[in-house]
């Protein structure tokens, strides 16, 4: 069996590559990734030593190059992780999100049809459902919750989901979709909340919390997400959407305080900055369907997952340094420079 994984040099893709190499000892795992700022080949260093692994530096919007990979590898299962994935960047520059997340998905599905892949899986997000109010804890996203996107990122992911549905119905593409809540764990790029707070706290830098920090996310340890996708591509029903979530709703401010506590850093590092435009208030997933149909449940409790995540960042300083020495600095200065200047000056005095 050959499994093609797009975006395998990113956060979840890398974890999935390692999960699949370990879980299916007879599978060939092929990774296709264009290595944007978020993709890091060094994350796949150990995988690259495995004869069952192959890597192609290829853009999913490049039809010719994608077809060449299919021609050569003839994958039976194709899983599309590749995406522009950061909401803040989508607010700064929506265009690349539309190209990669929508056109890229179309190119991948056309290749699946042309070369007769047995399964295409689209890795989507709970953000396609918009947000939920803080004062209605009884409300959760189900697979039938209407799409109501807030950011260019979530709109591009929702557009791709609609295209997948159209390819199933019109062309008979054997496809599934999963919509997962916020992931955390090893290899996450430090532009996202948890790794950014770990990295800044370690350097005694201000911890930028948007608005009042009351927004709620449903956090899932990345390995649980990988296990869910593996189950869906093998046992899920074609044409179906599966929600995946951690039953672990937490306010941003509580996560940041917990990271301070775990790293022995003072809460005075916390700095409230201007809120994100269109900031979604709360995400919460009802994952009953995947539990009942495929027997999936999250296995890693947050208390254990956050310990493992922090330890991973402490143990992988080389990885971190390569990441934060690149374009990251420019991004960070552009995003946070002005709003954190005063806080940084205060910390230095």
Instruction: Point out the catalytic residue in the list 73, 84, 127, 230.
Output: 127
Interface residue with ligand NAD among 17, 31, 33, 132 (CB under 6 A) is: 33
Minimum Å distance from CB 276 to ligand TYD? Answer: 6
- Partner from ligand NAD, ligand TYD, none binding residue 82, C-beta < 5-8 Å depending on class: ligand NAD
Within 45-74, the residues that bind ligand NAD by CB under 6 A are 59-61
Instruction: Point out the catalytic residue in the list 56, 153, 242, 332.
Output: 153
- Joined tokens for residue 297: 């449940």
Within 75-104, the residues that bind ligand NAD by CB under 6 A are 81-85, 100, 104
Q: Confirm or reject binding of residue 28 to ligand NAD (CB under 6 A).
A: no
Encoded one letter per residue, x for contact with ligand NAD by CB under 6 A and - for no contact, window 128-157 reads -----------------------------x
Category of 323 on φ-ψ map: left (φ > 0), alpha (ψ -120 to 50) or beta: alpha
Contact assessment for residue 79 and residue 123, using Cβ atoms and an 8 Å cutoff: yes
Interface residue with ligand NAD among 2, 24, 27, 35 (CB under 6 A) is: 35
**Rg of the Cα atoms in the chain:** 20
30-57 in b/e form (b: 16+ CB < 10 A) is bbbbbebbbbbbebbeebeeeeebbbbe
Active site residue 129: no
- Listed as own residue / partner, the contacts of 107-111 with beta carbons closer than 8 Å and 24 or more positions apart are 107/60, 107/61, 107/62, 107/63, 107/66, 108/6, 108/60, 108/66, 108/78, 108/80, 109/163, 109/164, 109/167, 109/173, 109/175, 110/63, 111/63, 111/66, 111/67, 111/70, 111/78
Nearer to ligand NAD, 85 or 200 (CB): 85
Number of residues near ligand NAD (by CB under 6 A): 30
Q: Confirm or reject binding of residue 11 to ligand NAD (CB under 6 A).
A: yes
Q: Confirm or reject binding of residue 160 to ligand NAD (CB under 6 A).
A: no
Minimum Å distance from CB 43 to ligand NAD? Answer: 8
- The CA–CA distances, whole Å, from 4 to 40, 115, 238 equal 18, 13, 18
Number of H helices, E strands in the chain: 14, 13
Contact assessment for residue 280 and residue 131, using Cβ atoms and an 8 Å cutoff: yes
Minimum Å distance from CB 297 to ligand TYD? Answer: 22
Active site residue 26: no
Active site residue 84: no
Q: Mind telling me the catalytic residues?
A: 126-127, 153
Binding site for ligand NAD (CB under 6 A): 6-7, 9-13, 33-36, 38-39, 59-61, 81-85, 100, 104, 123, 125, 157, 180, 182-183, 189
């Amino acid at each position: 069996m050959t499994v093609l994984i797009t975006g395998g040099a990113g956060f979840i893709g890398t974890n999935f590559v390692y999960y699949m190499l370990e879980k299916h000892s007879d599978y060939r795992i092929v990774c296709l990734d264009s290595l944007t700022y978020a993709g890091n080949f060094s994350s796949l260093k150990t995988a690259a030593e495995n004869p069952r692994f192959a890597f192609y530096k290829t853009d999913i919007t490049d039809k010719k190059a994608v077809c060449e990979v299919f021609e050569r590898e003839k994958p039976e299962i194709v899983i599309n992780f590749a995406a522009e994935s950061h909401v803040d960047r989508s607010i700064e520059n929506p265009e690349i999100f539309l190209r990669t997340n929508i056109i890229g998905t179309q190119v991948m599905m056309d290749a699946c049809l042309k070369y007769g892949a047995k399964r295409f899986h689209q890795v989507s997000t709970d953000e396609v459902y918009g947000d939920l109010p803080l004062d209605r804890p009884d409300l959760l996203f189900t697979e039938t919750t209407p799409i109501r996107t807030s950011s260019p990122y979530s709109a591009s992911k929702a557009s791709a989901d609609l295209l997948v549905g159209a390819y199933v119905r019109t062309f008979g593409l054997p496809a599934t979709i999963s919509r997962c809540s916020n992931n955390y764990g090893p290899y996450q790029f430090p532009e996202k909340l948890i790794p950014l707070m770990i990295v800044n706290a370690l350097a005694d830098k201000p911890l930028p919390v948007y608005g009042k920090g009351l927004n709620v996310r449903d956090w899932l340890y990345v390995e649980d997400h990988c296990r869910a996708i593996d189950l869906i591509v093998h046992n899920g029903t074609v044409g179906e959407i599966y929600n995946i979530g951690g039953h672990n709703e937490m306010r941003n401010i509580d996560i940041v305080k917990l990271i301070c506590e775990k790293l022995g850093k003072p809460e005075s590092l916390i700095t409230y900055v201007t809120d994100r435009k269109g900031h979604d208030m709360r995400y919460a997933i009802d994952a009953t369907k995947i539990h009942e149909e495929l027997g999936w449940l999250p296995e890693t409790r947050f208390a254990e997952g956050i310990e493992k995540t922090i330890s991973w960042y402490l143990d992988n300083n080389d990885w971190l340094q390569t990441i934060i020495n690149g374009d990251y600095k420019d991004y960070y200065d552009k995003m946070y420079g002005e709003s954190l200047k005063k806080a940084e000056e205060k910390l230095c005095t």
